[in-house]
Amino acid sequence: MGDYRHDKHAGNFADVHKHVLLRILLRELKKQPQPITYIETHAGAGQYELQPGGEWQNGIGRLLGRDDLPESVADYVAACRDGYPGSPMHAAELLGDEDRMLLVERKQDVARKLEERLGGDPRCTVECDDGFRRARELLRSTDSRLLMMADPPYVDEEDYLLVAELLSHAEGRGEVVLAAWYPVWRDGREQRLHESLSANVRRVRLELVPENPTREMFGSGLVALGAPAPYLRAGRDVNIWINEVLG
């Protein structure tokens, strides 16, 4: 497994895309009364400091101070006023007292930081483990209403295949929504994910891809399996706006 430091990339255009879509999805799912168990396979440290000169300047930095933000983007920016939150903190904000969170992080020191930042939140369990393995176990062993967020670092190309495998495991589970973020590359390596998915896996792809890419990793995508129709409509609309502003 290669190394990956999320703090270097926190708040960049891909983080904006991912977190705006995640918040839309969480808010939509919370319109239903049943409790949710939120599971994250690669949870990270939970919160990050945005350093001068960092990638965030071409991401959330381009949204700060604007007065024309769509409602879902303004909701995301407001959540980032006191430090930059990772996905677990967005989930902790939006989930209710009856909901539960299982956050898996493979690096022990990072898992410890996440646990500290959650401050003993009784809804949350943090585990230092293999997130893909734990997610597969839960898909086999629980009938709860699940929202899974798969967000591996993709430093190993095997991650694309493991995400595809997880999506296939979740297919047909009516109480499971699985969101999987992936980077879009100039060489098209993310196609391994799509090509590895069974034709029977019904999903939608939302991608942020600029017209004239200048970077090797130039885009951001989210596969959503089992997501409700209102999320898909809202996601497509905000995708267009983010493309225009950050693409």
Q: Give the CA diameter of the chain.
A: 47
| Residue of 151, 156, 159, 237 marked catalytic | 151
For strand 217-225 and strand 204-208, is the pairing parallel, antiparallel, or unpaired? antiparallel
> Tokens 């809804």 sit at which residue?
123
User: Which residue shows structure tokens 């209710």?
Assistant: 96
How big is the chain, counted in residues? 247
CA nearest neighbour of 46 among 99, 95, 93, 3: 93
Half-sphere exposure of 87 (CA within 13 A, CB side): 32
Alpha-carbon gap, residue 226 to 174, rounded angstroms:
7
User: Beta strands 217-225 and 176-185: pairing type?
Assistant: antiparallel
Distance between CA 166 and CA 43 in Å, rounded? Answer: 16
Count of Cβ atoms closer than 10 Å to residue 96 Cβ: 9
Q: Is 151 a catalytic residue?
A: yes
Q: Which residues pair with 157 in a beta bridge?
A: none
Distance of alpha carbon 104 from alpha carbon 123, whole angstroms: 14
Closest CA to 235 of 226, 222, 220, 245: 222
Q: Annotated active-site positions, please?
A: 151
